[in-house]
Chain A
Amino acid sequence: MSDFLTPFLMQSAVQAITPILLAALAGALCGAVGVFNMAMEGQMLIGAFAAICGSYASHSAGVGVGVAIAASVAFSLILAYGATVFRGDAVVICIGMNLLASGLTAYLLRALFNVSGTFSDPAIAGLSRIRIPLMPSIPILGWGLARQTAITWGAWALVIVVALVLFKTPVGLRMRGVGERPDAAETLGVDVNRYRIVTVLVSGALCGLAGAQLSLGAVNVFAEDMTAGRGWIAVVAVMLGRGHPLYCAAACALFGFADAVGLRLQGLGLPNQLTDIAPYVVTLAALAISHRARNSNALGKADRDV
């Protein structure tokens, strides 16, 4: 086992989990207030692109992260208002947002930087990694956490924050009320739309962070459609975790680990076309085994038209 679980593997597993985890938290929050958000793929992609733009222009990773959050929040306005005030169908809006993000980033990549496919430049400052002394001497978990970005640490802290907010604060109670019984919440004087709009915008901020981690966290590059299905895996993580941040985090850890194992198998000589599918296969298997994908509130209704 220790041959298989190398420090490098653990580190890349923890790194792979971060964007999915942040997106899953975003999805869990939206699910709690009854908005089915499956636009995380697009929200993250916008964040990843904006992070590169910000970092390229300012030579500062911090500015890049800020721009990523701002851009992703702005992009999330479409879902925030579309699914509430304008009463659009969230699924259709999310499909449209994902495609818009894909097209818009590809277009701006060509228009602003004159390249297609991938963009990297020495002027782009990446996120620095926090090194913790002695950490690498702790096997497995220590290996994983030894050199990670502040966003990775922040993501795990946010799991606890989101769980506490949702289940231990009056705001969280109202949010869940809005998700489970919007009519009742309305009667009690809770502004349902306002809760939903703010929550979707917060989900945009989380996905902006996730995108910044993707593009600035490891190799400082933006590639077209670089989210590569992570947003969808996050949607599944929310379903598996039934909207509870801690369970969602556990599901994300499973996928991140599958991702890293795939990477490891690739190192052992398996072609990447086969190893890349590991997280999706694990996801599908987990969904089928859990039997519990039928969630309460708006998430994962088997038939959308009830």
Chain B
Amino acid sequence: MSVLANFGGVLRAPPALVAIGVAVLVGGLLVLVSGADPLQAYAQIVVGALWPQNLPDTLNWATPLVGMTLAAAIPLRGGMINLGGDGQLVIGALVGAVAPLVAPLPGPIAAALALLGAGLAGGLYAALAAWGEIRFRVPMLISSLLLSYPAVGIVSYLVRFPLRDTTTGLPQTAMVPDGARLPILIGPLNMGVLMIVVIAALVVLVDRRTVIGYELRMRGANARFAAYGGVALGRQALGAMFSSGAIAGLVGAIIVLGGQFRYIDDALLSPAYTWSGLMAALLAQGEPAGAVLAGLFFAALQTGGFAMQRETSVPRVLTLVLQSIVILFLAVRGGLGKRER
């Protein structure tokens, strides 16, 4: 035990860097197992993510990922965990995809309404999990995740049957009219990037400068003390989950209105933004600015993964393994998630 503890003391110096180092080592072994050259694979990740001409792609990938990071970070700041990001994401995306089709409004107004509706729908669905905990004592950790499955199932049903674009034969909705799409900034980047930047700035501001942020941090440090100090825990949980779900819903609508222009079944969940976002938020223990950084790091890793898969035939799912090793190492060695009493 004491030997282990001393060993840990040496390792603790900069925990995040050590964790990344360990992940890179273990990942390198995995690459060796698959019969490829680890150095070459990692070189491709770095080039694929950070070469100047690839940077816009990285930012484009980072937009939904950082959005979902913020969605995960808000409840985490108060010691709560929202595992239902997938459900909130698809609900927002569906609202975003359908609203411009049913509302015959001028483009930008339709887009604004679609985004607003998406945020509201995602937020309310997330708040449902908080309400379940307050009213029925169903732990939010579990209910948020369990609520995600019906949402994904029902949305998938709607897209495949009643709302399907029958002209294409694929499980997707009709195209959103041109006017309601998010304007393009440069290259692959659209307005969605700016929206996420603004949301991130707002979350950091609220966290650092407002009473709401202070009270949420206080809950994260010690919920009983927060309650004793006059924080209404129930209302706070509802608010934190609503904000979290609203951001997730917005991210869904941004993906639809910014890049795919329609709801394509499975296309939103296969990149696993929710889980990468949650890992990034955990990495920063819910502190929003750090979470955004971690989200950018994971986005770079994953964008580089595409290049690695293309150039070296090492499957890009390796990046998910790297991410989870970073989290596990920090959880085990760095006391990640441990809160002071």
Contact = CB atoms under 8 A, between A and B. Distances in A.
A145 B123 CA distance: 45
B66 to A, nearest CB: 18
Interface in A254-306: 271, 273-274, 276-277, 280-281, 283-284, 287-288, 291-294, 300-306
A88 interface: yes
Nearest to B336: A92
Interface size class of A (residues with CB under 8 A): 35 or more
Nearest to B33: A111
A96 B139 contact: no
Interface stretch (B49-57, B250-258, B325-333): B325-333
Interface size class of B (residues with CB under 8 A): 35 or more
Nearest to B27: A107
B73 interface: no
Interface in B4-35: 4, 8, 30, 33-35
Contacts, number: 170
A236 B328 contact: no
B149 A100 contact: no
B142 A287 contact: yes
Contacts of A284: 132, 138, 143, 146-147, 150
A104 B317 CA distance: 8
Nearest to B147: A284
B338 A88 contact: yes
A293 B139 contact: yes
Given A104-B321, A110-B317, A280-B150, A287 B331 contact: no
Q: Which of B79, B153, B278, B335 has the most chain A CB atoms closer than 10 A to its own CB?
A: B153
A178 interface: no
Contacts of B315: 106-107, 110-111, 116
A56 to B, nearest CB: 16
Contact of A100 (B79, B157, B222, B325): B325
A293 B328 CA distance: 28
Nearest to B161: A271
A103 interface: yes
B1 A85 contact: yes
A232 interface: yes
Nearest to A281: B150
Contacts of A165: none
B67 to A, nearest CB: 19
Contact of B224 (A86, A292, A306): A306
Interface of A is mostly: helix
A302 B139 contact: yes
Contacts of B224: 306
Q: Which of B146, B157, B333, B339 has the most chain A CB atoms closer than 10 A to its own CB?
A: B146
Contacts of B160: 271, 273
A91 interface: yes
Contact of A232 (B140, B146, B154): B146
A281 B87 CA distance: 14
Interface in A129-169: none
A89 B220 CA distance: 14
A71 interface: no
B282 interface: yes
A103 B324 contact: yes
B154 A273 contact: yes
Interface string B28-62: 00100111000000000000000000000000000
B318 to A, nearest CB: 6
B332 A86 contact: yes
A63 interface: no
A5 interface: no
B142 A236 contact: yes
Given A82-B331, A294-B137, A274 B321 contact: no
Contact of B142 (A107, A116, A273, A300): A300
Contact of B145 (A87, A108, A232, A277): A232
A173 interface: no
Nearest to B138: A287
Contact of A273 (B157, B222, B275): B157
Q: Which of B138, B145, B223, B338 has the most chain A CB atoms closer than 10 A to its own CB?
A: B138
A96 B321 contact: no
B323 interface: yes
A274 B136 contact: no
Contact of B332 (A82, A108, A287): A82
Given A86-B333, A273-B157, A281-B150, A95 B327 contact: yes
A45 to B, nearest CB: 13
Interface of A: 38, 78, 81-82, 85-89, 91-93, 95-97, 99-100, 102-104, 106-108, 110-112, 116, 229, 232, 235-236, 239, 271, 273-274, 276-277, 280-281, 283-284, 287-288, 291-294, 300-306
22 contacts: A81-B332, A85-B4, A86-B4, A92-B337, A95-B278, A95-B282, A99-B275, A99-B324, A103-B320, A111-B30, A116-B315, A232-B142, A232-B145, A239-B139, A239-B142, A273-B157, A277-B154, A284-B150, A287-B132, A288-B138, A303-B223, A305-B339
